[in-house]
Amino acid sequence: MSVKEHDIEVLAGEAMRLLRLDTGELYAMLGGQLLGSSLPSRAAVMVGYLTSVRSALVAKTFNETVPSQADLGGWAGEVEAILEELRRDGIRFLTEVSGNLRQALNNRDILRLSEEISPSAVRIIVVLVAGALSMPRELDPICATVTAVILRLGLRDFCK
């Protein structure tokens, strides 16, 4: 399997599209991206939740054609638990790297760029985020998500 390096244009476009999501969803996405670098037991917990939901759905189809509202509430709780774990992972990661990010982004010109989010401004910020995170190129999609989180929070507020 070959490792794919991602083009900055593509990453900036992804970051722009991600700005439509709320901050909680962005943190959960970041947490999901980070699962690849977690211990297998971390992913196993989430797979366990999903497997139990799937098993319940399969069992339900044998008993009734439409699940009751109470059943849906239980399944929604399982999915919400997964999302909450992913959100926490995303928040934890951003907290750990925030010093490097602030150092790279807390510049008058960059802060001014972020006042009006344009494709060119996002490209510059993605490059700066990638440099601050110093990740292998194949993990650059994480930089797009981090950029979206920071822009969603507000770059000035993040850098305070």
Task: Output the pLDDT for position 51.
Answer: 78
Amino acid at 114: S
CB atoms within 10 A of CB 102: 15
Q: What's the pLDDT at 82? A: 86
The mean per-residue pLDDT over the stretch 2-18 comes to 83
pLDDT recorded at residue 71: 59
What Å distances lie between residue 134 and 15, 93, 142, CA to CA? 18, 14, 11
Question: pLDDT grade, residue 2 (50/70/90)?
Answer: very low
Average pLDDT in the 96-111 region?
97
CA distance 26 to 28: 5
CA distance 119 to 85: 31
pLDDT band per the 50, 70, 90 thresholds, residue 36: confident
Question: Is 15 a residue whose pLDDT tops 80?
Answer: yes
